[in-house]
């Protein structure tokens, strides 16, 4: 798994997964989940609402970078860091 960003205690990682479509994994305070590029949980249990809101804000400002990294992931290229939420 490749860490692409970290902000407010949330770590965002991207890797190949069994879930369809572009997605990423997030870790926060012992919680973990997989999200699509709209911020909708694909596989998560009780991920805190505040952290989901922060993820959605981050996605909205970095959607292009996420898609570029997804393409890089699919072609086996190294992922680029993505600017954290400030």
Check residue 35 and give its pLDDT: 94
Check residue 9 and give its pLDDT: 97
Beta strands in 1-86 (DSSP E): 2-7, 10-14, 23-28, 31-36, 41-44
Check residue 48 and give its pLDDT: 94
In tens, the pLDDT along 33-82 reads: 999 999 888 887 789 999 999 999 999 999 999 999 999 999 999 999 99
- DSSP code of 40? -
Say if CB 41 and CB 53 are below 8 A apart: no
Query: What are the distances in angstroms from CA 65 to CA 12, 29, 34, 81?
Result: 13, 25, 18, 9
Check residue 43 and give its pLDDT: 87
- Better pLDDT: 23 or 20: 23
């Amino acid at each position: 798994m490749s860490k692409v960003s970290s902000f407010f205690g949330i770590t965002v990682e991207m890797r190949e997964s069994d879930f369809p479509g572009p997605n990423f994994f997030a870790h926060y305070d012992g919680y973990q989940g997989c999200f699509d590029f709209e911020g909708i949980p694909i596989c998560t249990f009780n991920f805190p609402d505040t952290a989901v809101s922060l993820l959605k804000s981050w996605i909205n400002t970095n959607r292009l970078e996420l898609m570029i990294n997804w393409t890089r992931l699919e072609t086996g290229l190294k992922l680029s860091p993505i600017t954290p939420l400030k």
